[in-house]
Structure 1
């Protein structure tokens, strides 16, 4: 091969670059070529060999196939994507983006977004818009097959200036774009981004909100903004108002929204005319993941160990087969219609209208007593699974993309209350202590056993062109939160002698949220039309909630506790079972038409 290369060099004046040891020991078949292309000659000479070639820097480079596969692979272009906005954070549709080195250019879409496909390298971008200062951004490094996000802020041009070109670096321009809207916003607001949430151990938005300045939460569910209670705040998702998840007061429980489905959260602490009405404290805006600028796929698995809980005894009533999936298996559906209410007033022995047989038949209709009675389980470690993927497709004059995500989480924990005085267990200051150890005698304590399962799903689709944009967002979340609370001790109206009182409260709650929303943006000349239609539904069902007062039964074999049904005069009585359900469905539609004009020269 080395002899053949020397002959070709003398005849064609083409430079060859190769390792001499590579060509010295490689035999090639002798042949005569007249007017043949160099590529065809080399293909025939190197056929059935382990040597490949490529043209680079005006020379032909020979290399081993096995050791330099990447150098033969066709280079994949990179991508620059982002948004062009003004110093108020408003998008600039139709702005021009130009690659200085290549002359390649594009224009932003109706929402100010843009995408440029370009080979790997370092470039300078020039961004221009009518009546705005042109800006050049240097040191924009594009990597092969990767997408780099670059948002650019343009400033309006002063009348006294004819032409100004502002130069900045990629790093500084990215930071400017992040703070432009918050700095110039007329409202006091704070927020947290998807990247920040990814670095936190929080599993839902209820836990994340308390990390925002001026915001606190109650039980990691209800939000308090600058000390103003939850009923004075308003919750929105993707621009649509979320309904209340509470039966009695206006309140949204944010723990039903998994973190991995959210792009960012913004809390506005003051109102502006363009906001939804009805809040005096704060407006919490949750925005789900938008259409991606590049393809991605991720799957994560996690576990959680809670000190003092995991592996310990976990008390509770009989579980359903589907509790780990967040759904009831029918074991708690024991509330038939048309029940007869029996009291001491309408039932007396010998009454033919209400006989023991009728009472027994109704009790059989109700059923479910097999679920009562405390069981001992073992607290399992927390587990969570998350899968997300996004795809973006560049069409001829438009772009289509979608984002999908699924999440599952189960967590079990125990809250230990060493000293409890409330309700019947209130001693009204009549506490007694051992004079030697100063330990309280007949002390009351409580434990709360928390079993939580959450499911989440999201599918967002989007399509945009230079002047039009359509987005469809779909979000579903379901939470099963079961709290079993057990109090043991003495109080003014609880316990006697050496036998403590025992109260149990079981609160199995199923909450589901479904939201569908479609929005559009259209730009025709100086006119811009924006519209949106949305529907959301929330279902909060506290199913077969139990309040039970257990009394001691002292025998020669020891003391056991038994349920004591009441006379029906009080609710809840010594033993009561309840079902509370709240369902709300909201429809919303909005539209806005704007015309852009310039005042003055």
Structure 2
């Protein structure tokens, strides 16, 4: 292909592109209207005109209130033809200008449509502050009685087209006094000044109460990230998701924490005696006089926002917290009353459903464990040692020398009553094990005091649990001792029967001996936690 052929192809291509652009432009600006409606009101017909022609319509909403429905059938009509068909024989007139159609009421003495230019005018103006003459942007201009309006630009200027020669304009802006101005067609460019509104305000007291949300995993991780020491935590969100009722149940999910006896906590394997407990920054005292560690199973987990374990010794912490600190952070007092009850049950895998555990005869503790106190030796039994220092022989001499007197009979009866007060079965026996039970209740509320000048907040929680365990055939290793000295002599042995253990008859002294353990345990525990706040 030579140069002239290339030029010819380029000319043909340019001509085709020009024809295509002309066709697109014609389709863009030459919108036609096709419509067929029966018994329709004029506003719905004008809405269809707007959709198909892209023209905007301005008219009073009350203008067509009493007009009867009309029939209209258009096919590929222009906007002028469509409006003429719509308003034929109707007392309305319209004006078309710059893609805008303004429809108004026609005068009674008018015959056909008048010239559109006599029924509308365009007004421009500027709005400024009356004091400093600064331009006001965002001023709303509304034509009173009509759905027409405009707003000022950044320079305070505005332009609005209105259908009648004289109109009342309303100018409004936040912080300024509204102003109404009557303007006729002769005033095509106006200047409006607004005065700022000054209102005396009464004294207003604003009280803001903010609470940091600390019961979610996000809050716990954020606190851990910002901490300068090694710490771990579990949130109330995770406690609820895992179904933990007591604090020790929740702490079993924390890394580096070991729970012993279902109530004592050891951190990093250093023992529970070097762990202290704190409640909202205040140190807790142990309820066990024989141990310094805190039995955390008494604290209901439902009252806590989170549990934080500090694993590093710092100068601001107590010196005896060698292995760590367990910090319990309680929930805030609720604004309205809340009450929650949780019940949980289960069984020990060694016992099973309907199984038995090793216990003593008549060992029922009672609902609150009050029957355990009745196992103490009676005062009368303790006095028998003083009355008969020789023991059973003294009682035999009393009977032999009594000559069957009434006093001797009464004394023998009293001694028999004391001795028969003991349990008739002194060894352990198996009894049916109940299901493990665990209950938790939480209450919280706020109360107004002294004519609502003060508020009292109450939060209360309690735990109650009872469980049984049984070890059958466990290995218990002991070191045998003969006369207080570890002999190590394999020839020295002793025949020994230990209650509740299956043992060999010949135990060599000075060696490790392994016994078969058979132990049953029943645990009963309950506790409450009460918090009060005032403001």
Specify the TM-score bucket, using the shorter chain as the normaliser: 0.3 to 0.5
Normalising to structure 2: TM-score of the pair? 0.44
Larger helix share, 1 or 2: 2
Normalising to structure 1: TM-score of the pair? 0.40
Larger strand share, 1 or 2: 1
Higher-Rg member (1/2): 2
